[in-house]
Amino acid sequence: MDRDPLDLPTSPTLSPIPASQVPWPGHAGGPPPQPPRRRPPWPLLGVIGAGLAVALITSLLVALLLTTRGGTTTVLLGAAEQTATSAQATSTAEGTPPTSPAGTAGTGGISGPRATSTPRPPGPTVHVVNVQGHATVYGLTTSCPTDELALSGGWSADANTRISVSDHSSVQNTNGWTLDAREPNAPLTAYVLCLQHLAGASITSRSAAVTIATDAASTVVASCQAGETLIGGGFFIDVGDITHFSPTADHTGFSLTVVYRPSLARTHAVSSRYHAMVTPYAHVTAQCLSAARARLTVPSPATVAISPQGSGPVTVTCPKGTLLSGGGIDLLNGIAVATEFAPSSATTWQAQVRNQTIVSTTVKLYALCLSFS
């Protein structure tokens, strides 16, 4: 039988080499080396972990900072931070747009809740209201705006006009000041001081009257009650001339002195608006304010000498921190006419005096000044 050429002879001495003894390429004999083992990249992982930790901490700090700057989280601030927060709240209360971290008002940067503060309500103030016109049946009245109080007032007129009424406008039941003159249809300017921003305040007119004597001085005083603060005065006279109209020495009332000399033609005219009584009289009012913490200050009066047949101005100003509420005047020597007696600003009262006698007249002008402290 022919042998198959692919049939290789087998040798009984040959045996398979165990797999464990198969030589590793490049090594002769001995146990074969193991393939190299791959070590984990610990340094790289450490760097990556540290970076992630830093990023996480940074994110937490940014979030905490943004939350602290808002108005919903309460934190204890240092002195510098408290100053910055207060300044930001003030700007917002005054209507200034909040500034973003980028420095542009209302644009750019990160915006968040802003701390705001409630604006402080305005304190009491006064202002002057005046009206020009002519004396009518009820005189000439100027009024304060709604929700304001008429403190007191005054006038401006020409030298031939005799003021017979300068008082709170109770006849027309309005919140203002009324003037009248003895001369019919006389041109007048009426002034009133108006008090605003004082909730709960009220004014009461306390009055008193006296019969006017002939060829003598007649004096009458009206006083405020306990708990009230004097703020000014008013008057009505049938005949005669005012020589004294000012606060009392204890500053609790208003005093009026009238001199009536029928022998002088200029003092004999009777009020054309309020008919002469069988016995003429003088009427004075004390304007009395009821308000918390109200306090009256009466500075030293301004004194000016007016030469015979001459005229001149005189002014008096309230101390700093006070508000003008009224005025008073003394015409001490002789008989003179105050052609102007009125507030000129929130702190100053002024007068223009004309001396129509042949003797010198000394004028004292008073200011009544209010404060609330």
What residues does each domain of the chain span?
125-372
pTM score, whole prediction: 0.66
Q: What is the mean pLDDT of residues 139-149?
A: 93
Q: Answer yes or no: is pLDDT of 41 > 80.
A: no
Residue 137 or 42, more confident: 137
Residues above pLDDT 70, as percent of the chain: 62
Which of 101-105, 115-119, 189-193 ranks highest by mean pLDDT? 189-193
Q: Answer yes or no: is pLDDT of 107 > 90.
A: no
Q: Answer yes or no: is pLDDT of 344 > 80.
A: yes
Q: What is the mean pLDDT of residues 272-287?
A: 73
Q: What is the mean pLDDT of residues 311-321?
A: 96
In sequence order, the 6+-apart residues with CB closer than 8 A to the CB of 236 are: 164, 165, 167, 274, 282, 283
Q: Answer yes or no: is pLDDT of 50 > 60.
A: yes
Q: Answer yes or no: is pLDDT of 346 > 90.
A: yes
Q: What is the mean pLDDT of residues 62-83?
A: 35
Which of 58-72, 86-100, 190-204, 357-371 has the weakest average pLDDT?
Answer: 86-100
> In DSSP terms, which residues pair with 46 in a beta bridge?
none
Is residue 267 very low, low, confident or very high in pLDDT (cuts 50, 70, 90)? very low
Q: What is the mean pLDDT of residues 142-160?
A: 94
3-state secondary structure at position 14: coil
Average pLDDT, the chain: 76
Is residue 62 very low, low, confident or very high in pLDDT (cuts 50, 70, 90)? very low
pLDDT at 299: 97
Q: What is the mean pLDDT of residues 28-34?
A: 50
pLDDT at 113: 55
Alpha carbon 352 to its chain centroid, in Å, reads 32
Q: What is the DSSP track for 319-358?
A: PTT-EEEEEEEEE-SS-EEEEEEEE-SSSEEEEEEEE-SS
Separation CA 370–CA 196 (nearest Å): 13
Separation CA 177–CA 300 (nearest Å): 26
CATH of 125-372, one of 1.10.10.10, 2.40.10.340, 2.40.30.170, 2.60.120.690: 2.60.120.690
Q: Which of 240, 246, 198, 242 is nearest to 222 (CA)?
A: 246
Cβ proximity of 248 and 324 under 8 Å:
no
> Residues 201-225: pLDDT tens digits?
999 999 999 999 998 899 999 999 9
Is residue 47 very low, low, confident or very high in pLDDT (cuts 50, 70, 90)? low
Q: Answer yes or no: is pLDDT of 8 > 60.
A: no
